[in-house]
Amino acid sequence: MALQNEPEFIPALIVVDMQEDFCPPNGSLAVGDARSIAPLINSLLELPIFAIRIGTQDWHPQNHISFASNHVPPNNKPFESYIEMNNPAPGKALETKQQRLWPVHCVASTSGATIIPEISDRKLDVLAKKGMDSRVEMYSVFSDAFRNMDPALARQSVDRDVKALLEEKKVTDVFVVGLAGDYCVKFTAIDAARAGFRSWVIEDATKCVDPGDGWQQALAEFEEVGVIVTKSDSKELARLRT
């Protein structure tokens, strides 16, 4: 029970995209040193304080818009090329956004889409598959790249309504870890804040595609919306362990 005048604290953990295609040595979109954060993530999964532990998985169709190979030369270079992407929401097709192109990764039901064996996924209460709509990118587990959070539309991209799951457990605080800090972790944490939760990113439990400029940009965006960045040895994390 919370002490008088102390904010209620019911935490949840979201483990983002700890999948083979995002990890060395063989991942098609491998993030540097990504496997090294697995022990820390497992230690968090073991903590009994979390009301719910949610894992996410990119689960793309072969014709996904973010795959460079689905576009014509010369504008189809992974990491380098960008295309115009249209909002899939009804009546918003004229709204566009620049989309960076990636190598083919995390295709549904392939080995590259599986959670790495170093993660104790048996400790996850829910595994949400995202990025299933071929027309639109989805970094956040809450919404697509156009911030479409309407469950009826989002269900085309993600198979679980994570906001509803958190609300059902009366969660107040969402802790986000995993891959990658400057993409799916970033947007999941930002959306958690926009959905009304206190949102936290555990910095040493994430790795970035671009650990330099990409992470600095993420930090600036976190500050704008009130996402709190902490570390595993911080007093905030000590609270979870007690």
* Active site (catalytic) residues: 17, 130, 184
Residue-wise DSSP of 33-85: TGGGGHHHHHHHHT-TT-S-EEEEEE-B-TT-TTBGGGS-TTS--TTT-EEEE
The packing angle between helices 213-225 and 184-194, to 10°, is 0
Taking the C-alpha atoms of residue 182 and residue 186, their distance in angstroms, rounded to an integer, is: 5
Q: Which two tokens stand for residue 98?
A: 């620049």
Segment holding 168, helix H or strand E = helix 162-168
Nearest to 209 by CA among 15, 14, 13, 28: 28
β-pairing, 173-179 vs 198-207, is: parallel
Taking the C-alpha atoms of residue 176 and residue 56, their distance in angstroms, rounded to an integer, is: 11
Taking the C-alpha atoms of residue 195 and residue 15, their distance in angstroms, rounded to an integer, is: 18
Taking the C-alpha atoms of residue 185 and residue 139, their distance in angstroms, rounded to an integer, is: 8
